Structure 1
């Protein structure tokens, strides 16, 4: 502050002295060139020199501003772009953090100042999609297409994602098929194609993509395994439900399923159900025996006991052969009782049912004993076992 006051005082003092000197003696300057001459007071000459000096400095400063980017005239635009970059970076961080609403607001606001407005629009559209705001996503995609000229893979991919989210599977599939022709190994594209086929229940075409999904690692191994199980299970069900496929077509489809998938318990059970639905009980029985020979499973033993056989005597012989290793299996004892009933071995059936109950009291075993006694004419025992079964069912319901 003191320095400023000192400068002002000096300026006033010098100005006063100059004014006094101008009044006391104005001086004289003569400039002569050829036949021309100019005369003026010294103070006028000094003023002209001062103005010329200021003009020269102004011209030089202007020239430097024009030549130096990021300075002067460009400073405003530089600062504006810098603010846009910072806002875009902030919006992208919000997107990564999953703060969809904040990310949309920040990216939309900074799009006009961003050096890459297309990135702002596409990222904001993705965030809107994650938020479930399909209308906002659609508008942002339209804006992105205007910026890109309407021909951009990323925008098309995001539009397909929007169509799938809205369950417009046929439209999505048309777009994805076109993109797939251009980029057949694109991982995200493969995932979305599978999703679209699943939405349309087009399991045949979904199955055609499984090999590429595995080749290009489009899905984690666990998810891919679940997808394969779903696709092949649905294909087996579809083969039976359309009413046109005979046993031969069903068996042919089973043989076409990759061997590692035929070992899947879930797919095996779907195939067993399908065989029974088309009346292929013998094939179902052979498959069950093959599986149980290698790996014991009480659930499959239960299926074996419920499965009608063309040769119940052989079926009983096979099941009784399992007693040596699994005599303490309540499920096997129950299955043997049912097979004995089909063979009309009533006494053996009763013994097996009672052995099963001794190992594990179950409502369905009591019901089997009740039916057996009713068939044998012992209504009192039948009523007793029905009552026990009902009591067992109620106690299970309270757990």
Structure 2
């Protein structure tokens, strides 16, 4: 009973207040159109608004109760369909990792156009990789075309994949323009720089690679050691190309001087680069300069490759070369490469007996085909035809990597 009174008292108070407001508050609401005028009292208008709100609310609740199950069913079906697509897509990616290329491509393409970006883009690119791994490069490129036609936002991804496929197929003429355009758009993109460097290297575009090297280092594509190794390769290759050029010697010598002025001092002392520089000087007719370069390099920092090159160098004064090389023998008495070089220099100076001694000493230290060949030529000059044939045969067997017992028979 007490609870009822607690409820009735506020209701009576509120009702009394409302009755007083209705009796003492006068006002009206006027709605006017072109032909009609409708007038309500203020309280009637408020009552109509309240009734309208209740009707709208009841209508919304009724429609929601009727339509919501259908919407929920549709959403549930869409979720299940999306989950199936996602599972099939994951199955395709797993097949790609496992090397089941046909299954991977089929599942990935079936789901690609039904997924949102970036999952759709990843599916197209993965399907292209599956086709490429299977060996069907045309199908892989066609898949990338499909990705572009689908309108999916890809940035450089599709073009990078296409360029990589071209590089894998050694189709450098197609890869390079694509990578050059990518480089102009994404100047500091590490993977673009890496692929472009590979393309320049494979296509022997050493000057372009030289220009790209600072970008590779600045964007941490290469560390310091890799940069140095690439500098050595670039300079050696540029020098070799200059040697093979058919241009006049004067023009080639001018280019050689310009190129050598750009070589970093730490690269200039590398035996491989020094050797190519000496060969380049020799190819332009500067034999005396080439001999000086090699002689100073060997005296300052011994290198067997440079010593062997010194023996091949067609210097202007072969006797002086022999004297220089014999001075080195005091510090390197058991060096097979130096002894081979001495034998070649003796042969060039027609010192057949002395050359034979050097070559036999070299052969005793290191049984190599070129030493056998040189010794065979010297023996022929000495009139030792039988021994000459034996050394030719021994060198041939050695170059073919045949068994030691055959080599022993050839030496008899």
User: So what's the TM-score if we normalise by structure 1?
Assistant: 0.71
Pick the aligned partner of 1:276 from 278, 282, 286: 282
Picking from 383, 390, 393, the partner of 2:392 is 390
Structure 1 pair 138–319 and aligned structure 2 pair: CA distance change class (3 A):
closer
The 8 Å contact of residues 187 and 218 in structure 1, kept in 2 or not, is answered as: yes
1:252 aligns with 2:253: no
CA contact (8 A) 1:173 1:196 kept: yes
Q: 1 CA distance for matches of 2:269 and 2:203?
A: 27
Q: Whole-Å Cα distance in 2 between the matches of residues 195 and 370 of structure 1?
A: 44
The separation in 2 between residues aligned to 1:309 and 1:359, in whole angstroms, is 27
- Partner Cα distance (1:187, 1:199) in 2: 18
Counterparts in 2 of 1:161 and 1:234: CA distance versus 1, 3 Å: same
CA contact (8 A) 2:166 2:174 kept: yes
1:204 aligns with 2:207: yes
Deviations 1:333-365 (A, max 9, x none): 332243345456566445434544554566655
Shift in Å, 1:107: 1.1
- 8 Å CA contact 1:362–1:392 kept in 2: the answer is no
Distance in 2 between the 1:146 and 1:361 partners? Answer: 64
Question: Following superposition of structure 1 onto structure 2, how do residues 172-251 of structure 1 map, counting pairs within 5 Å?
Answer: 172-219=175-222, 227-244=230-247, 245-251=251-257
1:92 alignment counterpart: 93
Aligned equivalents of 2:360 and 2:203: distance in 1? Answer: 50
Give the Cα separation in 2 of the matches to 1:356 and 1:158.
Answer: 53
Change (3 A) 1:163 1:349: closer
Match status 1:132 vs 2:135:
yes
Q: Which runs of 5+ in 2 are unaligned?
A: 1-59, 404-412
2:115 corresponds to 1:114: yes
Cα deviations by residue, 1:367-398 (Å, 9 ceiling, x for unpaired): 656655665xx53xx22431441353355343
Q: What secondary structure is seen at the aligned counterpart in 2 of 1:246?
A: helix
When residues 144 and 355 of structure 1 are mapped into structure 2, their CA distance, relative to the original with a 3 A threshold, is closer
Distance 1:130 1:191, change over 3 A: farther
RMSD: 3.5
Contact 1:370 1:384 survives alignment (8 Å): no
Instruction: Give the distance between the partners of 2:371 and 2:169, measured in 1 at CA.
Output: 49
Change (3 A) 1:92 1:264: farther
* Residue correspondence of structure 1 range 144-183 to structure 2 within 5 A: 144-148=147-151, 152-165=155-168, 167-183=170-186
Distance 1:272 1:125 in 2: 48
Partners of 1:119 and 1:360 in 2: how far apart? Answer: 57
1:80 Cα offset (Å): 0.9
Shift of residue 211 of structure 1?
A: 1.9
Q: Which consecutive residues of structure 1, in runs of 5 or more, have no partner in the other structure?
A: 1-55
2:65 to 58, 61, 66: 61
Per-residue Cα deviation, 1:229-265 (whole angstroms, up to 9, x for no partner):
4433332222232222422322331332334443444
Partner of 2:316: 310
Distance 2:364 2:144 in 1: 68
Judged with a 3 Å threshold, the aligned counterparts in structure 2 of structure 1 residues 241 and 162 are, in CA distance, closer, same or farther, namely same
Q: Which residue of 2 is the match for residue 298 of structure 1? A: 304
- Output the TM-score relative to the length of structure 2: 0.69
Change (3 A) 1:371 1:180: closer
Contact 1:169–1:196 (Cα < 8 Å) also in 2: yes
1:352 maps to what in 2?
358
Distance 1:90 1:221 in 2: 42
